[in-house]
Amino acid sequence: MPTAPETQRAPQFDSRCLSQTLSAASLQLIDAIAQRARAKDLTLFLVGGVVRDLLLKRRNLDLDFVLESDAIGFAEDLAVDYGGAVQAHKPFGTAIWKLDAAAAEKLLLPAEANPEHVDFARARSETYAYPTALPTVAPSSIERDLRRRDFSLNALALQLSPAQAAGALIDVCGGLHDLEQQHIRALHDQSFVDDPTRILRALRFARRFGFEIEPKTAALMQAALPMLGRITGSRLRNEIELILQDPEAAEIIQRAQTMGVLKSITPAFRVSPALEQRLSPQLDKMQTPRWTDIAAGDLALRWNLLLAEGGASAARAVCQRLELTQALSRSVAASARITAEASALNDAGVRNSEIARLLDGAPELSLLAAWITLSDQPRARRRIDDYANRWRHLRPGLNGDDLKRMGAPPGPRYKVLLETLRSAWLDGDVSTPEEEAKLLKELLAKRP
């Protein structure tokens, strides 16, 4: 087991951290929830990441509460009095209270930085029937609840109720010590076997906070890599999406690749050494081309950038393993296919019509991902711009009715003839309706 310092029930929490770190709306909301718990004589704690971030003086709008009693009923009572909706998950004893404008008004919440929801859970213990299984849960104490968590820095709780205990910082796993030492430490030897997604989470936290992964924890991560192949794609996808939304996503993913994490998920999962340029912290501020309204920080775009340089076949395999949607899988595969054709896009000898055929049918998301990925290849970028701005919209002036009027029998040849006319416009072989009509006559004069 990773070595933990002596556990302790820490002294009173420095309340100044609350006002220095949380928004006014979060403070008001915490106070209202604590007052309700005190009125009902319930034991209530603020737990996990928000407590960690309070101690690190980092902003966090995610409010997570634990009660040593019925959390779902408590959340539903709040919704009855203040409004909003409750989404309950009874097997785990958890509830999400989604706030609406009416609830915010009744709670007198300031508009600025208003949390959209609040999470409640009953303190619980967890057991795993087999590695990578979802846990079986049972009601428990706050101490056991904290000990079941992933890392010591997330196993901290701030007591809010009853009033005489309010302000106590509960640290039974040595989280305070690890925060001071800037360590990521797992709580037990089976942590990554029980839940291999914690491997990805550890890498994300290490980069986000600038912490080191404690040596024994790093060894446990390495030993548990084969378990990543046994976990569902949706659970892995959720963790990777959290990474993709991090400003340092590229560095986290590159470290995952170096450790062997990606190939343990599926052998086809490989990323380019240039990923750091594609998913740079400046990506959100990047000016995208005028032909698209897709934001540079769009999550689907980040998926496309992540997999654009590994080849279409590998991209499809990763999409299938991670259970991406059909639409997203299609755009990712198209991004990889276009990027693989960089030599054709850069070749001045390749005609415009050939480029159009290469790009036809690709989602706009794929065009943008390829445009970003090929940032160091100006000719390729210009041709994607030309296609997106003009070529994809270009159609011949004549249509099927004109072909019929000119005596061409309906059939598959119509498509071939119209595509030939479009190519002629793209390549500059015709530039007027008269030249197009002349070319069509020449084509019709030939045998089918």
pLDDT class of 267 with cuts at 50, 70, 90: very high
pLDDT tens sequence across 26-57: 899 999 999 999 999 999 999 989 999 999 98
Q: What is the per-residue DSSP string for 5-48?
A: PPPEEEEE--THHHHHHS-HHHHHHHHHHHHHHHHTT--EEEET
Domain boundaries in the chain? 8-179, 182-264, 266-393, 397-445
Quote the pLDDT of residue 14. 67
Q: Tell me the average pLDDT across 325-333.
A: 97
* pLDDT 10s digits, 162-190: 999 999 999 999 999 999 999 999 999 99
What mean pLDDT, rounded, does the chain reach? 91
What pLDDT shows up at residue 6? 46
User: Which pairs count as long-range contacts for 26-35, CB under 8 Å and 24+ apart, including other chains?
Assistant: 26/61, 26/63, 26/113, 26/115, 28/107, 28/108, 28/109, 28/110, 29/63, 29/107, 29/109, 29/115, 29/118, 30/63, 30/160, 32/82, 32/107, 33/65, 33/78, 33/118, 33/160, 34/160, 34/161, 34/166
pLDDT at residue 2, as a whole number: 66
- pLDDT tens digits, one per residue of 387-438: 999 999 999 988 888 888 887 778 888 889 899 999 999 999 999 999 989 9
Range with top average pLDDT, 12-16, 122-126, 377-381? 377-381
- Say if strands 8-12 and 63-67 run parallel, antiparallel, or are unpaired: unpaired
pLDDT tens digit sequence for 369-390: 999 999 999 999 999 999 999 9
The pLDDT of residue 3 is 57
HSE-CB for 168 with a 13 A CA cutoff: 16
CA angle 180-184-186, nearest 5°? 125
pLDDT value at 113 more than 70: no
CATH architecture assignment, domain 8-179: 2-Layer Sandwich (3.30)
According to the model, what pLDDT value does residue 280 have?
85
pLDDT of residue 210: 96
* pLDDT of the residue at 56: 92
**pLDDT of 428:** 94
Architecture category of domain 182-264 in CATH: Orthogonal Bundle (1.10)
Residue 111 clears pLDDT 80, i.e. is over it? no
What DSSP element (H or E) covers 79? Answer: helix 71-82
Q: Give residue-wise pLDDT tens across range 84-108.
A: 999 999 989 999 999 998 898 899 8
User: 178-193 burial string, b = 16+ CB within 10 Å, else e?
Assistant: bbeeebbbbbebebbb
**Is residue 325's pLDDT more than 70?**
yes
Banded pLDDT at 24 (limits 50, 70, 90): confident
Share of the chain above pLDDT 70, in %: 96
User: What distance, in Å, lies between the first and last C-alpha atoms of the chain?
Assistant: 77
Where residue 444 falls among pLDDT bands split at 50, 70, 90?
confident
| pLDDT value at residue 8 | 47
Q: Would you say residue 129 has pLDDT above 90?
A: no
pLDDT at residue 348 is higher than 60: yes
**Closest listed residue to residue 145, CA positions, set 156, 153, 134:** 156
